[in-house]
């Protein structure tokens, strides 16, 4: 606590380099990391709901998320192909 108070009162904070905008809280990189963290928490809660509330075995939950991942990949690939065909790529 004393070291922190001295850091502030002696203005040692002025000698520290600021965080670059690339790693700032509002940057695209950090926003993407935040979205991935929120997604992982959603998946964790979904897994808990499937196994604890619905009584699905753990392997069944893994299979459901695996199939959802495959389905989402196919949908995103289809959308990518449709948009790519419209753009002439």
Confidence of residue 88 (pLDDT cuts 50, 70, 90): low
> What is the DSSP secondary structure assignment for residue 34, as one 8-state letter?
H
DSSP helix/strand/coil, 85: helix
pTM: 0.58
Domain annotation covers residue 48? yes
Per-residue pLDDT at 85 exceeds 90: no
Domain annotation covers residue 6? no
Say how far apart CA 57 and CA 64 lie, in whole Å.
11
Domain annotation covers residue 57? yes
Domain annotation covers residue 71? yes
34 versus 25: the higher-pLDDT residue is: 34
Domain annotation covers residue 3? no
The string of pLDDT tens digits covering residues 49-76 is 999 999 999 999 999 999 999 999 999 9
Domain annotation covers residue 62? yes
Domain annotation covers residue 69? yes
Task: Domain of residue 82: give its range.
Answer: 26-86
When divided into structural domains, the chain yields a total of 1
Domain annotation covers residue 74? yes
């Amino acid at each position: 606590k004393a070291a922190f108070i001295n850091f502030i009162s002696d203005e040692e904070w002025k000698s520290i380099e600021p965080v670059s905008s690339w790693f700032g809280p509002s940057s695209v990189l950090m926003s993407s990391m935040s979205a991935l963290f929120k997604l992982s928490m959603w998946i964790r809660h979904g897994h808990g709901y499937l196994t604890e509330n619905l009584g699905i075995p753990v392997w069944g939950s893994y299979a459901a998320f695996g199939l959802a991942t495959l389905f989402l990949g196919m949908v995103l690939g289809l959308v990518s192909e449709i948009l790519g065909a419209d753009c002439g790529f």
